[in-house]
């Protein structure tokens, strides 16, 4: 009986086929150099039978044989260590991390990646952004329409969820425990258990599908960008920790409506183009995306209170202040994100203000004070082709706020970008965290 209890406990464990060697990435905290490393999200990892090389998950499907139900699946299957460069197109050197879009590996074709900064082998680095500044250099010159090089924070557990969920043995070391404000249901494991029950393959995605459950938590999008468009966007959730959702309670991803989850899926975005300045961000423009650019973000506040998120860019040794809004419908001009800006922007665009409904900056302060994990990713969009970032969306709309960037409404189709822009990449480097106005020149 005791053996039996011990034997079935572990549902998400790591295999021994490939050693997990985290790429090293150094960064600066308050001016001091920190030797960090990154780990790729569990979703990207090979999932196979324990002790054998048979797949538990292949393409966009779970094996009927090894995963007839989540509990059996968890007992049968493990996730593997990663060959970062060969399989995922991820390379780190000194303080720089480069993510390549499509990688033709020995066993598979990989699309995009999502990585987390680690403090040590088993623990994510936790950042409390309140009253602080986060700065990095990014090269988006090789990111066309439809791609998104994203650097952001989410309220994941520092250990990936091993303390909270005894089924999770793999932990942060193997990139487990992801959550965000879209309550994604495409995760293969949630709370240490396979999300295989009710799994539906995604029609236009050979690599992914959606399960019954999703994983929700607050998200601070510092950076979502390609060479044609960029936005920064806080999103808040009702709970101040990662929580699993079921079906409709996961919002649109779970088959519910867009606003039926406990999170704010839209967030409150600052996109210079969308807010009326079409000459600010792009190739050869005021912030020239043909060159690397230093991006500075500041969270004004203290304790559990944050009131404003400011942005500056630095290029060629020159500090460029964020653009101001230029919209007829706004009586005041803004160049930062705050409760006042969010209410005014949502009203001007006729958007549902779910950011304010879920607590706005009060809730943002509460979640940021708990600490967030840094995410570095590159992705394409199998739902709406990234048009919400870089084109006109909804595509047939001429309402204020629909025009978000210069890309064509026919752009960003995953099949097109994955074949035509396969070698695209994004390079993040020189991450610096510290007191406001201390990390850039
Ligand atoms: C866009 O931003 C730049 C830099 O702040 C400014 O010089 C320019 O006038 C702005 N354009 C519009 C249309 O607001
Ligand atoms: C707006 O969002 C709230 C939740 O934040 C939701 O309850 C409501 O139904 C939404 N309204 C519309 C028109 O979608």
Task: List pLDDT tens digits, range 296-348.
Answer: 999 999 999 999 999 999 999 999 999 999 999 898 999 999 999 999 999 99
How far is ligand 2, taken at its centre, from the CA of residue 41, in Å?
A: 31
The reported pLDDT for the residue numbered 206 is 93
The reported pLDDT for the residue numbered 6 is 47
| Residue 68: both structure tokens together | 């007839």
The reported pLDDT for the residue numbered 2 is 47
The residues near 193 (Cβ < 8 Å, ≥ 6 apart) are: 11, 12, 70, 71, 74, 165, 167
Q: What is the domain count for the chain?
A: 1
Domain that holds residue 320: 96-435
State whether the beta carbon of 285 lies less than 6 angstroms from ligand 1. Answer: no
Active site residue 219: yes
The reported pLDDT for the residue numbered 193 is 97
In a domain, 9, yes or no: no
Question: pTM of whole model > 0.85?
Answer: yes
Q: Give the chain's residues under pLDDT 70.
A: 1-10
Lining ligand 2 with CB less than 6 A are: 259, 352, 354, 357
Question: Is the torsion defined by CA of 367, 371, 373, 378 positive or negative?
Answer: positive
| Residue 114: both structure tokens together | 């999502």
In a domain, 28, yes or no: no
160 in Cβ contact with 4 (< 8 Å): no
- Catalytic residue, from 80, 133, 224, 418: name it: 224
In a domain, 8, yes or no: no
Residue nearest to atom 13 of ligand 1 (CA): 277
- Catalytic residue, from 20, 80, 219, 418: name it: 219
In a domain, 306, yes or no: yes
Residue 321: phi and psi, rounded to 5, are -70, 150
The reported pLDDT for the residue numbered 235 is 98
The reported pLDDT for the residue numbered 267 is 98
In a domain, 25, yes or no: no
Q: How many residues does the chain have?
A: 441
In a domain, 65, yes or no: no
In a domain, 51, yes or no: no
Ligand 1 atom with the shortest distance to the CA of 323: 5
The reported pLDDT for the residue numbered 5 is 46
In a domain, 178, yes or no: yes
Angle, in degrees to the nearest 10, between helices 339-349 and 360-370: 130
How far is ligand 2, taken at its centre, from the CA of residue 440, in Å?
A: 40
How far is ligand 2, taken at its centre, from the CA of residue 125, in Å?
A: 34
Q: Which residues pair with 110 in a beta bridge?
A: 103
Please give the Cα distance from 404 to 396 (Å, whole number): 13
Q: What is the CATH number of the domain that holds 147?
A: 2.70.100.10
The reported pLDDT for the residue numbered 4 is 45
Please give the Cα distance from 374 to 129 (Å, whole number): 11
Q: Which residues pair with 294 in a beta bridge?
A: 137, 314
Q: Is the bond preceding residue 174 a cis peptide, omega within 30 degrees? A: no
State whether the beta carbon of 277 lies less than 6 angstroms from ligand 1. Answer: yes
Of the candidates 237, 287, 293, 292, the residue with the CA atom closest to the CA atom of residue 267 = 237
């Amino acid at each position: 009986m005791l053996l039996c209890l011990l034997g079935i406990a572990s549902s998400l464990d790591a295999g021994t086929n490939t050693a997990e060697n985290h790429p090293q990435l150094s960064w600066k905290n308050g001016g001091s150099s920190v030797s960090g490393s990154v780990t790729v999200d569990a979703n990207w990892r090979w999932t196979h039978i324990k002790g054998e090389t048979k797949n538990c998950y292949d393409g966009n499907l779970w094996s009927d044989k090894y995963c007839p139900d989540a509990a059996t699946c968890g007992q049968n299957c493990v996730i593997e260590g990663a060959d970062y460069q060969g399989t995922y197109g991820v390379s780190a050197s000194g303080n720089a991390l480069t993510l390549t879009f499509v990688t033709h590996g020995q066993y598979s074709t990989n699309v995009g990646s999502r990585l987390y900064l680690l403090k040590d082998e088993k623990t994510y680095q936790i950042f409390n952004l309140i009253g602080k500044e986060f700065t990095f250099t990014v090269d988006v010159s090789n990111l066309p329409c439809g791609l998104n090089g994203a650097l952001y924070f989410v309220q994941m557990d520092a250990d990936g969820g091993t303390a909270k969920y005894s089924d999770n043995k793999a932990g942060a070391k193997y990139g487990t425990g992801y959550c965000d404000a879209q309550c994604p249901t495409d995760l293969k494991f949630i709370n240490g258990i396979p999300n295989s029950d009710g799994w539906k393959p995604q029609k236009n995605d050979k690599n992914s599908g959606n399960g019954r459950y999703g994983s929700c938590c607050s998200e601070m999008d510092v950076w979502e960008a390609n060479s044609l468009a960029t936005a920064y966007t806080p999103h808040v959730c009702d709970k101040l920790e990662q929580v699993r959702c079921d079906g409709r309670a996961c919002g649109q991803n779970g088959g519910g409506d867009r606003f039926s989850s406990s999170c704010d899926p839209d967030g409150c975005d600052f996109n210079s183009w969308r807010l009326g300045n079409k000459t600010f961000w792009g190739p050869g423009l005021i912030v020239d995306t043909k060159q690397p650019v230093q991006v500075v973000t500041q969270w004004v506040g203290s304790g559990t209170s944050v009131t404003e998120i400011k942005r500056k860019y630095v290029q060629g040794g020159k500090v460029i202040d964020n653009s101001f809004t230029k919209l007829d419908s706004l009586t005041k001009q803004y160049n930062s994100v705050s409760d006042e800006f969010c209410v005014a922007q949502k009203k001007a665009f006729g958007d549902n203000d779910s950011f304010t409904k879920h607590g706005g900056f009060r809730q943002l302060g509460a979640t940021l004070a708990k600490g967030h994990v840094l995410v570095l990713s590159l992705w394409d969009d199998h739902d709406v082709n990234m048009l919400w970032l870089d084109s006109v969306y909804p595509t047939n709309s001429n309402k204020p706020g629909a025009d978000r960037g210069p890309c064509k409404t026919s752009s960003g189709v995953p099949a097109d970008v994955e074949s035509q822009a396969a070698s695209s990449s994004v390079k993040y480097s020189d991450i610096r965290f510290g007191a406001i106005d201390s990390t850039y020149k």
